[in-house]
Amino acid sequence: LCTSGNCASFPQVLSLLIPTQLQRVTHLALHRLFHTRSCLFVVLHVALQAAVFGEYTWEVFGYCWELQFHLLLLLLPYLLLAGNVGCFLLCSRANPGIITKSNAASLVKVYAYDGVLFQRGLVCPTCSVEKPARSKHCSVCRTCVHRFDHHCVWVNNCIGASNAGLFLLYLLSLTATAAALTAITAALLCQLLLLSHALHGTSRGAQGQERPVGIALLVQHLFMTFPRIVFMLGFVILLTLVLGGYCSFSLYLALTNQTTNEWCKSRSGAAPHLPAQPHHGQPGYKNIYSKGIWRNLKEIFQPPTALERKKK
């Protein structure tokens, strides 16, 4: 692969090994999946929830009921699921804040241009409208969105000024649902271990000596006895950790009045007028949109209008 000191790159090697037609199909499939609106991730989202709650209802709920867990505790995941589905439907169907020729002039007056991430007088080449501060053109939805945060494939919609609050509620309820399922399922397995007296068992080492049962053997015992429940627990634990991290990040953005788009641009140097970073590693960009924690949080659920900004 190396001739005259020049080595072929890995993508070039793959292009030689993979047929051109297959490359074309793969490229089109990936482009359609991630660069056009698709219900595939929505279907996957619903399928995962149905699988988890099916197992919870079929086995976990039944065992917990026999062990006399409190009924309200067992119904908590269903209540959280109902709230999550409601937020999901509202967020996915809501207008995120699409900028049109009729409302562009009024939206330009909502936020000031910071002169760093957002410049006055720029026109979107696709939509042919002046871009308000904090807006961005979404290549997936093919529209400009006011206070653009990101495009979420799971709700198949952009997250912008008009549905950012719904998205935050959706994320919080989803995280709470996963955490509730984790806690109840873990409590059930711990109770089953206590009833089986497995915690007081012993195992023989390589030289025949007896020793207390370790965590690995207990997990193996549970997996052999209740494989579906253990597998579900592992999945919801992972989901809780991932969602918890993302939820914390989203709350941080909400409390500091930033969008994901702004946070990424201010740290990646994507903005052409971003000042050089000073010493000690502190970013040179200053967020002019933050008004304090409570007012920032209020703005997520009650987006400001041009009239409100004029009054202030």
Domain segments of the chain as ranges: 33-202+211-265+290-310
Residues in the chain: 312
pLDDT in tens, 41-99: 899 999 999 999 999 999 999 999 999 999 999 999 999 999 999 999 999 999 999 99
287 φ/ψ angles, rounded to the nearest 5 degrees: -80, 115
pLDDT in tens, 176-228: 999 999 999 999 988 888 776 555 555 555 555 555 555 666 667 677 788 89
Among 2, 152, 158, 247, the active-site one is 152
> How many angstroms separate the CA atoms of 64 and 130, rounded?
59
Would residue 144 show up in a list of annotated catalytic residues for this protein? no
Q: Are the C-beta atoms of residues 103 and 168 closer than 8 Å to each other? A: no
Residues 6+ apart with CB under 8 A from 109: 306, 309, 310
- The one-letter amino acid code at 75 reads L
Phi-psi region of 83 (alpha: psi -120 to 50; beta: other; left: phi over 0): alpha
The model carries a pTM of 0.80
